[in-house]
Structure 1
Amino acid sequence: MKATWLRAMPLFLAAASAAGAAMALEPDVLFSKVSASVWAVRTFDAQERPLRAGSAVVIAPGRLVTNCHVLAEAASFVVKQDNVTYGATPEFPDPARDLCQIKVANFAAPPVALAPAGSARVGQRVYAIGNPRGLENTLSEGILSGLRGGETEARLLQTTAAISAGSSGGGLFDAEGRLLGITSFAARDGGSLNFAMPVEFLHELPARAKAALAARASEPASTAGTAGTAGTPASTSTTAGRSEGAGGVALTEPLRRGDALEYARTDKLTGSRSTVIYRVDRVTGDEIVFNGGGKVERTDGQVVSVTSPAGGVFDQSSPPGGWARQNLVPGMRWQVDYTPATGERQRHDLAATVGRPEPMRVDGTELQVLRIGYEGWIYASSASAPLASATSRFQGAAWYSPELRRIVRFEGAFQRGISSSNESLELVRIQR
């Protein structure tokens, strides 16, 4: 009897393995199963002019979740799929985690299945479905390449599945078609470094949103904000000079874990605009870690390292320590000759000059900033590079806020042969 059982064991294990493998869906089957539950989001200003595009996932009857930054500054928004469009309204905003639940009346799209809490495993096959650059219901495949953040709560999901502008708010699914997370941001020009908010955050969203709204309602009238976007409160400025952003927190308050810097990146050659998020993973001593370690700064604003250049030229061409120095005064000049740690790693030889203070508004707050002009050359890293591409003229400027201790606007332009780059990066708000 025992021998018979032992002989049968390999067959039993093979059958069990086959049953487990059968739970994984082929990509086309998975797409058919969940694509009806991933919708495009379109936002509009008060004059019904288009603002932003993103994605949203159906998680319950008549309820979808997207990223709050997709809804920023919107007076109204809709969800759409093919030629079907529904008006939508915000329900539970959680700007600190960049997740907003929205509701749609008379909406019949099926909810997705949610993956069990804690089921995300590094190395597992995952699929992202969203609307990159307006291409509705685009499927990309990859692996879960990392879990980033603290050990005491659900961690950000890092994936190699492609995420582009317009994918924000889409779904990251496991091989069984269960929702693992909401795709939120990518490290631009940083390879396959893409991130999603874990599904565990969705369970906490209503309670966190209600708590935040209750706290805001209890604030004195002089500091309570007014609704300025469809998903998040607008910033205000008090008569006492204490400027406040979302959640009634002063814009100049130190960054804390969960805060995020939202920048708008504009390609001036094409006019295309995208959102760049630097989210605070942790603050350790005098260092602030953003985007899973992709960028590290000191609390005084000096850049320690950039391994994932989310901000395009701003990050790729960053001098050691960043674009600003401490104790800046008008008329200060210096020369920098360096090779950036990321991007094409080409030698930069630039001259910097500090201009006079000038006003600039950030998130409804007027700040005094210093403009640092940069001019010089970028040299090819290889002596064998063709002459036409060996050197590039670089012109740029960085506007530094001593109050925030960071760059609030950056412009950079260079031309290499027939290839040109001209872009800007501007701080829109601080999500708290």
Structure 2
Amino acid sequence: MTRLMNASSLRAALVFLAASAAAGAASALEPDVLFRRVAGSVWTIRTFDAQERPLRAGSAVVIAPGRLVTNCHVLAKASGFVVRQDNVTYGATLEFPDPARDLCQIKVANFNAAPVALAPAGSARVGQRVYAIGNPRGLENTLSEGILSGLRGGDGEARLLQTTTAISAGSSGGGLFDEEGRLLGITSFAARDGGNLNFAVPAEFLSELPARAQSALEARAREPAGNDGRAANVGNAGGALTEPLRAGDTLEYLRTDKLTGGRSTVIYRVDRVVGDEVTFNGGGKVERLDGQVVSVTAPAGGLFDLASPPGGWARANLLPGMRWQADYTPAFGERQRHELIATVGQEQSMRVDGTELQVLRIGYEGWIYASSASAPLSGATSRFQAAAWYSPELHRVVRFEGAYQRGMSSTNESLELVRILR
């Protein structure tokens, strides 16, 4: 009798589990249904300078009546901004900035777009199907599909959601949704030339936004007036340019293709600082506190990362007139041999985000070999030129330029530090 009861209980349990699984599967939405449900809650942001000239475009997600969230780097340096969908435009204002997490809440008057539902805290799991909706390169309400490929961070919390879902310039501030159309994260940046590596800030951070913003404002109010000589804005809230990097800080660079004039934002976000090592972008780049590069597994900075010598473009204890040979094969790209001569020029001044820095220009001249050949061969080599402006105070390169031509293909680009978001 007991054996029969146990068998009956087991069958009942199996039926219950099967029913629960079916109910869970039934809650997943088809992509077209999911898109129709949440697309009306993802808007375009357009920012302007003091002369009302366009600065940049991004995305924002409605999280409450009259409230949207975007990335703070979308709003950096803006004197004004609007939210737009189709032909409808609303003026907007900043309400709660949290630059350390790159989340900014904005408010819009007389705005009735429906808020999205938030996924339960801690529900993100590696391997789950996810969807991103944003405005890449100005293409409003673009849907892309992928999986959640990693949970990056430390100290007991996922500071970044890694995903294979495509994210491009203009997607920053858009939504990353689970299969039920619930908001998992705010899409933030892609690791350029680093494969299918894209990242979002967890949506569970949104509940902490008002309190963190208030704490940041109170801390700033306690700072001595004019302590760094810069105007208060989202981009520099929370600390001077030259302060040591901390977990949550973000380095924002501008990458420019000099052949086409195209520009894109490159983000290096500090995940953690342990001992003398700083880890960026979910482990995509690791540096020492003195700026020496330890490893690059996700070359976000284009040629700056792809062609980098071991240890980076600068050395410790640089002095004008120093000269050395760099003979190496980069870890990424086409893995071709670089044979370059580096020369350090005289110290000069350069302004970065309103701060005057003394920098040393390191010029690189040489060749890229298509094979392991030890001398230039016709059609097998390319002339390579680059320059890196290194700030000893920041322990990093604040500007980089590189150019080479291989056959009919040319590369000529720059990467410049714009600001450090704290």
**Secondary structure class of the residue paired with 2:114:** coil
Among all aligned residue pairs of Structure 1 and Structure 2, give the percentage whose two residues are the same amino acid: 82
Q: What pairs with 1:134-173 in structure 2 (closer than 5 Å)? A: 134-173=138-177
Deviations 1:338-384 (A, max 9, x none): 0111222111111111111111001111111111111111122488x
- Give the AA of the match of 1:17: A
Deviation at 1:228, TM superposition (A): 5.2
Deviation at 1:280, TM superposition (A): 0.9
The alignment status of 1:246 with 2:250, answered yes or no, reads no
What 5-or-longer segments of structure 2 have no aligned partner? none
Distance 1:431 1:9, change over 3 A: closer
Q: What pairs with 1:79-228 in structure 2 (closer than 5 Å)? A: 79-223=83-227, 227=231
| Residue in 2 that maps onto 1:316 | 306
| Residue in 2 that maps onto 1:77 | 81
**Secondary structure class of the residue paired with 1:116:** coil
**Secondary structure class of the residue paired with 2:55:** strand
Distance 1:331 1:194, change over 3 A: same
- Give the AA of the match of 2:37: K
Aligned partners of 1:7 and 1:96: how far apart in 2? 52
Contact kept in structure 2, 1:345 and 1:381, CA below 8 Å: no
- Give the AA of the match of 1:412: G
- Give the AA of the match of 1:130: G
Deviation at 1:17, TM superposition (A): 2.1
The alignment status of 1:52 with 2:56, answered yes or no, reads yes
Which one of 329, 342, 355 corresponds to residue 365 of structure 1?
A: 355
Distance 1:197 1:7, change over 3 A: closer
| Residue in 2 that maps onto 1:262 | 252
Aligned partners of 1:381 and 1:281: how far apart in 2? 37
Aligned partners of 1:379 and 1:246: how far apart in 2? 46
Query: What RMSD in Å do the two structures reach over aligned CA positions?
Result: 1.8
Deviation at 1:89, TM superposition (A): 0.6
Contact kept in structure 2, 1:216 and 1:224, CA below 8 Å: no
Deviation at 1:19, TM superposition (A): 1.4
Aligned partners of 1:9 and 1:211: how far apart in 2? 50
Contact kept in structure 1, 2:387 and 2:402, CA below 8 Å: yes
Q: What pairs with 1:278-427 in structure 2 (closer than 5 Å)? A: 278-381=268-371, 390-427=380-417
Distance 1:12 1:417, change over 3 A: same
Deviation at 1:153, TM superposition (A): 2.9
Deviation at 1:10, TM superposition (A): 5.4
- TM-score scaled to structure 1, two decimals? 0.92
**Secondary structure class of the residue paired with 1:202:** helix
Contact kept in structure 1, 2:220 and 2:237, CA below 8 Å: no
- TM-score scaled to structure 2, two decimals? 0.94
- Give the AA of the match of 1:362: V
**Secondary structure class of the residue paired with 1:18:** helix
What 5-or-longer segments of structure 1 have no aligned partner? 234-244
Contact kept in structure 2, 1:398 and 1:409, CA below 8 Å: yes
| Residue in 1 that maps onto 2:30 | 26
Q: What pairs with 1:4-19 in structure 2 (closer than 5 Å)? A: 12-19=16-23
Aligned partners of 1:41 and 1:388: how far apart in 2? 50
Aligned partners of 1:27 and 1:388: how far apart in 2? 52
